[in-house]
Amino acid sequence: MEKTDIAKYTIKDSVFTNLFQDKKYLIQLYRALHPEDTETTEDELKDITIKNILVDACYNDLGFTVGDKIMILTEAQTTWTMNIIIRALMYLVQSYHEYFERRNDNLYGSKKVKLPKAELYVIFTGKRLSKPEYVSLSEEFWGGEKCAIDVKVKMIYDGKDNDIISQYVAFTKVYDEQVKLYGRTREAVTNTINICKDRDVLKEYLSSREKEVVDMMMTLFDEEQVMRAYVESEKKEAAKGAIERMLQKGKLTVDEIADYYPDLSVEEIMEIKKELF
């Protein structure tokens, strides 16, 4: 299999951010979250999605403002983790920082600045028996104890009446089914698009941007892979430093050190020893 035939690992996240960069779909998302607001128009929505400088791409999050609200949405991967609350908090703080910079607000002056009301959401597309409506920073990390800061995130597991959220979730499920059959391949990608179009799931979006969507989904080196490689590199550097100190003390053999670091082979530890001595 050629490298170009390997599907992008964070496929659903990329479609998530790409889909809602178009205000035609972003307004549908907003109305799914706020059905009572029938007056807000596309022109009143402003994208404030934060860029990932490391790979010049978007995080798997979406940010936009509407009126006096700043709205942050995260597409959670299929593994459930409460760390998503911390991620939402950090994303919100960065969004506020950029908001004040755009307005040239002086946070050290005597005049009170305008602070948009925040709304935090997670769209979780995995399977889970327990489906809390909200998750809270204080509840999950401090047992509900009062603290100087708290964050409350609304969980979304599906949409309603074939709205844009329910269509997106349906898209992720079709893709997961195709990956089980064909792996992360071009066939799984094209089958997903064709099945979704046949079922009227994101049909307009997939039809009008099919080549773009296929190219995006087939990109091999995504931001998650880059980050994983970076983390692995940092872990190896830290391990190398610890191994050097062990070798300098001379109390453990290479084999004994290898027992402490199963991710490194005896040969790799021998190479470190050769460099050291």
Q: How many angstroms separate the CA atoms of 57 and 36, rounded? A: 33
Look at the block and give the residue holding tokens 């889970």: 128
pLDDT grade for 231, boundaries at 50, 70 and 90: low
Predicted TM-score (pTM) of this structure = 0.73
225: how many CB neighbours lie within 10 A of its CB? 15
Q: How many angstroms separate the CA atoms of 61 and 82, rounded? A: 16
Residue 202 structure tokens: 């994101």
pLDDT grade for 227, boundaries at 50, 70 and 90: low
Report which of residues 249 and 45 the model is more confident about: 45
Cβ–Cβ < 8 Å for 153, 138: no
194: how many CB neighbours lie within 10 A of its CB? 14
Percent of the chain with pLDDT over 90: 48
pLDDT grade for 12, boundaries at 50, 70 and 90: low
Q: How far is CA 36 from CA 103, 133, 162, in A?
A: 29, 19, 17
Beta strands in 157-274 (DSSP E): none
Cβ–Cβ < 8 Å for 9, 24: no
pLDDT at position 221 is: 33
Q: How many angstroms separate the CA atoms of 134 and 140, rounded? A: 11
pLDDT grade for 57, boundaries at 50, 70 and 90: very low
Lowest mean pLDDT among 1-15, 26-40, 96-110, 254-268: 1-15
Q: Helix (H) and strand (E) counts for the chain?
A: 11, 8
Per-residue pLDDT at 55 exceeds 80: no
Per-residue pLDDT at 224 exceeds 50: no
Cβ–Cβ < 8 Å for 39, 56: no
Cβ–Cβ < 8 Å for 218, 16: no
pLDDT at position 264 is: 76
Pick the closest to residue 247 from 266, 263, 262 (CA basis): 266
102: how many CB neighbours lie within 10 A of its CB? 10
pLDDT digits (tens, 9 = 90+) for 14-37: 788 889 989 999 999 999 999 999
pLDDT digits (tens, 9 = 90+) for 180-215: 998 888 899 999 999 999 999 999 999 999 988 888
Per-residue pLDDT at 115 exceeds 90: yes
Pick the closest to residue 51 from 82, 17, 22 (CA basis): 17
Half-sphere exposure in the Cβ direction for 248 (13 Å, CA) = 8
Average pLDDT over residues 99-111: 93
Per-residue pLDDT at 11 exceeds 70: no
Q: How far is CA 56 from CA 17, 53, 87, 184, 243, in A?
A: 14, 5, 19, 24, 35
Average pLDDT over residues 230-248: 79
When mean pLDDT is compared over 120-129, 165-174, 247-256, the highest value belongs to 165-174
Report which of residues 59 and 30 the model is more confident about: 30
pLDDT at position 252 is: 82
229: how many CB neighbours lie within 10 A of its CB? 11
